[in-house]
Amino acid sequence: MSRNRPFIASDNVGRPCHCLECQAAEVTDKPIVRVPPDDFHPKARWLHGEELKAYWLARDRAMTALRAATGKSMPPPGGGLE
């Protein structure tokens, strides 16, 4: 069982969610994401709230690092945060 593997596939990305958890974490503008099973969760599941926030933060960092590594395009000054 592998864990912490990047999991980027379009059919595992949903629509922004407005449940209480997502509202509390202020991620209602971000699509929810389905992650594969891990040691703690035997089934694939959709992330909400703080977990979803952490996912997008990590993904933004990974994308920025990837762009920096490939040198194809530079992130905009300020990181493009909204």
Which residues make Cβ contacts (< 8 Å) with residue 34, sequence separation at least 6? Answer: 12, 13, 14, 44, 45, 46, 47
How far is residue 24's CA from residue 52's CA, in Å, rounded to a whole number? 11
Beta carbon nearer to Zn ion, 19 or 65: 19
How many Å apart are CA 51 and CA 24, to the nearest integer? Answer: 12
Place of tokens 């592998």: 2
Using the contact rule CB under 5 A, the part of the chain among 5-13, 14-22, 61-69, 74-82 near Zn ion is 14-22
22 belongs to the binding site for Zn ion (CB under 5 A): yes
47 lies in the binding site for Zn ion (CB under 5 A): no
Give the nearer residue to Zn ion in terms of CB position, either 48 or 53: 48
Stretch that binds Zn ion, among 16-24, 33-41, 60-68, 72-80 (CB under 5 A): 16-24
Binding site for Zn ion (CB under 5 A): 17, 19, 22, 48
